[in-house]
Amino acid sequence: MKKALQLLSALTTGSAAAGVLLLAGALAFVLITRGSAAISPAFLTQETREAGASGGILWQIAGTLILVATAALVALPFATALGITRAWLLPPQSRPARVLGFILQLLNAVPSILLGILGLILFTGMLGWGKSWLAGGVLLGIMIVPTAAVMLANRIESLPRGQLDAAAGLGLRRGHIIRSIILPQSAAALLSGMLLGLARAAGETAPILFVAAVFSGATIPTGIHEQPVLALPYHIFVLAQDSFQEASRTNLWGAALVLVTLVSLPALAAIPMRHKLHNAADHA
């Protein structure tokens, strides 16, 4: 019986892993076979021409980077504060801590199109920003906060209790303990959460659709009011919807390949860094 169960669980795990690998492999295969024809130095450094049928995606790359960087800057302080509050400032397992955990889950579950509409009402309408990169960055940032905050909180909860006690026993204040124990030892988890969230946010179309992205006619923003950007996911979205030319199709896949590469590069780069950070922290 036990043997059979073990076998069953091994089979499920194995087939799940194989399924995921297969899916990822198939995606990579499609992306590379269809997209690589478009990739060239010119594609990366020129602006779009003929509605995507020729030219490159320079400003879409720039716009996506601007949105993602803004999102990261917006999300980092909030994710840090919420994670520390959830896991440490509020008494563990207390009602406020549980409520905050629930709110973070709820925020994570808000459909991105809803965020986009909220942004339209708040930033474009009430604040009068029009279409602005900042609105897009803030909305994407809001999307990242729960992922990063929850990963940070989980790590803080697993920190050795003794160190926090020892620091408190020295009369260190909360701010001291946060800076000298909690943050250094959970920075890697925060980083993972941020990257995970950013990778997802970078590919989102819905939140930037109404408030931040246009298909053409924008470069680097110089202010906030009516300063939209081009963005890779929006570019792909429009090409997929409207283009019937072969050249546009190829460029669509090229843009998708660039987007996937852009979001996976930092995640890959972070693996050795995370390893180092965790190693240092776990020696405690």
Partner 1 sequence: MPDPILDIRDLTITARRRLILDRVSLQARRGQVLGIIGPSGVGKSTLLRAINRMLELQPGYRVKGEIRFHGHDIHDADVDPDTLRQRIGMIFQQPVVFPTTIAKNVLFGAARLRRLGKSERAALLDSSLREAALWHEVKDRLHDSALRLSIGQQQRLCLARALALDPEVILMDEPTSALDPKATEAIEERILAMKATRCVVLVTHNLDQARRVTDWVACLCADNGHGELRFSSFPRDGRASAMLSETSCWASSTPSSLRLFSSVSGGRRRLGRIAILSACSAG
Which of 159, 168, 214, 262 lies at the binding interface for partner 1 (CB under 8 A)? Answer: 168
Closest to partner 1 by CB, 47 or 157: 157
Closest to partner 1 by CB, 131 or 155: 155
Which of 1, 41, 162, 246 lies at the binding interface for partner 1 (CB under 8 A)? Answer: 162
The binding track of 230-249 with respect to partner 1, each residue x by CB under 8 A or -, is --------------------
124 and 211 in contact (C-beta within 8 Å)?
yes
Q: Please tell me whether residue 28 adopts helix, strand or coil conformation.
A: helix
Which of 65, 172, 196, 262 lies at the binding interface for partner 1 (CB under 8 A)? Answer: 172
Q: With binding defined as CB under 8 A, does residue 98 bind partner 1?
A: no
Q: With binding defined as CB under 8 A, does residue 276 bind partner 1?
A: no
Q: With binding defined as CB under 8 A, does residue 18 bind partner 1?
A: no
DSSP code string of 198-251: HHHHHT--HHHHTTTB-SSS--S--SSTTB-B--HHHHHHHHHHH--SHHHHHH
Distance CA 282, CA 280 (A): 6
Closest to partner 1 by CB, 3 or 161: 161
The binding track of 175-194 with respect to partner 1, each residue x by CB under 8 A or -, is -x---xx---x---------
Q: With binding defined as CB under 8 A, does residue 165 bind partner 1?
A: yes
AA letter at 274: R
Q: What angle do CA 159, 164, 167 make, to 5 degrees?
A: 145
Q: With binding defined as CB under 8 A, does residue 167 bind partner 1?
A: yes
Q: With binding defined as CB under 8 A, does residue 281 bind partner 1?
A: yes
With CA atoms as reference, report the closest residue to 186 among 144, 147, 153.
Answer: 153
DSSP code string of 44-111: HHS-EEGGGTEE--HHHHHHHHHHHHHHHHHHHHHHHHHHHIIIIISPTT-HHHHHHHHHHHHHHHS-
Single out the segment in contact with partner 1 by CB under 8 A; choices: 58-66, 166-174, 231-239, 267-275. 166-174
66 and 135 in contact (C-beta within 8 Å)?
no
Distance CA 104, CA 150 (A): 8
Single out the segment in contact with partner 1 by CB under 8 A; choices: 91-99, 214-222, 258-266, 268-276. 91-99
Closest to partner 1 by CB, 20 or 166: 166
Q: With binding defined as CB under 8 A, does residue 163 bind partner 1?
A: yes
Q: Please tell me whether residue 132 adopts helix, strand or coil conformation.
A: strand
Which of 20, 26, 166, 271 lies at the binding interface for partner 1 (CB under 8 A)? Answer: 166
AA letter at 10: A
Closest to partner 1 by CB, 49 or 174: 174
Binding residues for partner 1 (CB under 8 A)? 91-94, 160, 162-163, 165-173, 176, 180-181, 185, 280-281, 283-284
